[in-house]
Structure 1
Amino acid sequence: MALLSGRRLVRGLAFAGVAATGYAFGVTSDRAVAQPQPQPAGLPGTPTLPSGPGAQPLPKSVAPLPQAEPDRRVVAYIHGNIPITRGELGDFLIARGGHEKLELLVNKRIIELEAERRKITLTTVEMKAALEEDVRGLGISKDDFVKHILPKYGKSLYEWTEDVIRPRLLLTKMCQSRVQVSDEDIQKTFENRFGERRAAKIITWNENDFRTAQKQWDEARKSDNDFDRIARMQADPTLAAAGGQVRPIGKHSETENDAVHKELHKLQPGELSAIFKVPSGFMCIKYVAPVPPEANVKLDEKMKEALRKEMFTQRLEREIPKCFKELKDAAQPQVYLKGPPSAAEFREGVSNIINQAGGVPTLPAAPTPPAPKP
């Protein structure tokens, strides 16, 4: 349960976080700038929504909506009669980092608008239960969750509830009809969990570490001790601490990418695979020894129900990002408020400027000073 709850935390933060915004050219200002742009087409006050994932974008030939007037609602007074408006407060906050929340707002609105279209709602009871499940899954109290976990993500309890739990639950309701678990799926999972398996160890490398991977793989294949030494050096701290040891692997692939499963089942006990590509980078796998089946475990109705629930949750977690991507592609968000560039974006902008200017000019060599007279 703790593992699944941890996955929910990460999944929720995928929508609560702010992704880096692409820059078309050059280096932006270090101050957030709102650029007025045409609004989506439609009648004033009644924007037309697409009908869901895969829907066609709104026609671009329709006249754009006029820009909204600044919000002049008063949030404070100074000197008794000088107002501070919500519009001024908004500009003040945006200039000091508010742009970081824009993608979160865009994502939330995409999800909420689709939920409205499908008449999907949430109750206070559902929200509270989801929060309690997050806390319970971590094995801590609610106070500890607020004091120690939320600060790591830079969120208050209100933000966690509204920016993480709410979109997560709405997406769950939208996507759950897309997930199916058959009796055959349950049988294969049971065999993978309790049938004959293969004990294995792995070493992983990042995408840009192929040369290091080649060198370390050449060392790791020399002996068991050399493999274990390299395995304890790998970048993944969990795998390094375990010396590359992973849970025994069954005969059926359980992931969309079955490269690990295929490579392992080519090997004899004690053999090490070649380096192969995986989504996160590169990997090699060593077949340690066969693991016999657990004879005392039976696939009864209770076991079937437990496996069905677990598999449904795992598949739903994989389906939600796909569902959200479809919604976002259909919404075609256009973000005009830009914040300061990241270090990588700054370097890319400078590189673009240099390339468009014809590259870095070659400076004339400095004159050689005359040799000293004897």
Structure 2
Amino acid sequence: MNTQIIAHAFGRRDWGITGDDVLAALDEDCKSLGMTRTQFAKDVLPRHGKTLDEWAEDVVVPRLMLARLCQAKMPPITEAELRRAFDAKYGEKVSCRVITWTKDKGTEAQGAYERIHENENEFSDYARRQSEPALASNGGRVLPISRTPTINGDNATHRAAVKLKAGEISPLIKTETGFIVVKCDRVIPADKSKSFEAEKPMLLPEVVNARLEKEIPKLFDELKREAKPKFHLAFTDAMVLPKPLPAPKK
């Protein structure tokens, strides 16, 4: 049904998608995964129970249609957005470690914070023992965080990290999913070898994709409201509902 909603909206525009468009998008996906199209078909698609043609039809084509529909409604990319993307990519960053707790661990988080916020050994030990496996395996280390947020990168971790200097630790922060604390280990200087004017052509598709990632879910919700899909189930044979078994006697 979702694909039909997208196709109906796309068809009204009298647009088309070529085989080259599909292959280019597929190759871009493979590139982001660090594999060839052949490897993707062999190692990834079997987990989804699809052939390469089925993946193209069920996943790639609807995504391309949504992207085209979304781009048609988006205002042009501004110089300010490109500058922000440049600063986020090449500007000053902070190297941090993060510890997280789930919503139900508030008391534990508060107690742990009292021990770790002024003691590096305690922080380091707890970061390796935290309940989030991906963080624990790396001692809480995350990728460097830019002082300038990307279009989709303004979250609790970022807001806590950008205020810190080397050696500082954030307060215990409540988030939608639980609690976090962030410690800044060092500040990474901006890359002065990069020029904004020289990088602008490469930044443009990155900003467009970031915009699309943010706006496509909104557009799809809008298309569903406009389509007003109705569900109707028809069965050739009427079935009698089973009678529930009597409760066992105590």
Q: TM-score, normalised by structure 2?
A: 0.78
Match of 2:77 in 1: 181
Pair 1:285–1:151, CA change in 2 (3 A): same
TM alignment of 1:1-374, pairs within 5 A: 106-177=1-72, 178=74, 180-254=76-150, 255=152, 257-301=154-198, 303-335=199-231
Q: Residue by residue, what CA displacement relative to the aligned partner does 1:177-228 show, whole Å, maximum 9, x if unpaired?
A: 3164322222233233333332222223344443443344344325222222
CA distance in 2, matches of 1:253, 1:313: 16
**SS of the counterpart of 1:300?**
helix
Match of 1:75 in 2: none
CA distance in 2, matches of 1:331, 1:124: 27
CA distance in 2, matches of 1:180, 1:277: 36
Deviates more, 1:318-327 or 1:129-138: 129-138
**SS of the counterpart of 1:198?**
strand
Pair 1:260–1:125, CA change in 2 (3 A): same
Higher RCO (CA < 8 A, seq sep 6+): 1
- The answer to whether the 8 A contact 2:93-2:146 is kept is yes
Identity across the alignment (%): 35
CA distance in 2, matches of 1:216, 1:128: 51
Aligned length: 232
Pair 1:195–1:130, CA change in 2 (3 A): closer
CA distance in 2, matches of 1:329, 1:275: 40
1:280 to partner: Cα distance:
4.3
Amino acid at match of 2:96: A
CA distance in 2, matches of 1:179, 1:280: 33
Amino acid at match of 2:24: A
Query: RMSD over aligned Cα, in angstroms?
Result: 2.7
Match of 1:98 in 2: none
- The answer to whether the 8 A contact 1:196-1:290 is kept is yes
**SS of the counterpart of 1:122?**
coil
CA distance in 1, matches of 2:92, 2:36: 39
**SS of the counterpart of 1:245?**
coil
Amino acid at match of 2:8: L
Q: Residue by residue, what CA displacement relative to the aligned partner does 1:291-329 show, whole Å, maximum 9, x if unpaired?
A: 22333332232x111122212212212221121121123
Match of 1:357 in 2: none
CA distance in 2, matches of 1:314, 1:114: 22
Pair 1:280–1:309, CA change in 2 (3 A): farther
CA distance in 2, matches of 1:256, 1:292: 20
CA distance in 2, matches of 1:129, 1:274: 46
CA distance in 1, matches of 2:229, 2:208: 31
Amino acid at match of 1:126: D
CA distance in 2, matches of 1:286, 1:195: 20
CA distance in 2, matches of 1:209, 1:168: 38
Higher helix residue share: 2
Where structure 1 has 5 or more consecutive residues not aligned to the other structure, the ranges are 1-105, 338-363, 365-374
CA distance in 1, matches of 2:56, 2:201: 30
**SS of the counterpart of 2:85?**
helix
Amino acid at match of 1:172: A
Q: Residue by residue, what CA displacement relative to the aligned partner does 1:36-93 show, whole Å, maximum 9, x if unpaired?
A: xxxxxxxxxxxxxxxxxxxxxxxxxxxxxxxxxxxxxxxxxxxxxxxxxxxxxxxxxx
Where structure 2 has 5 or more consecutive residues not aligned to the other structure, the ranges are 234-249
Pair 1:133–1:214, CA change in 2 (3 A): same
CA distance in 2, matches of 1:298, 1:184: 15
CA distance in 2, matches of 1:283, 1:336: 46
- The runs of 4+ residues in structure 1 deviating greater than 6 Å are none
Q: Which has the larger radius of gyration?
A: 1
**SS of the counterpart of 2:203?**
helix
Q: TM-score, normalised by structure 1?
A: 0.55
**SS of the counterpart of 1:246?**
coil
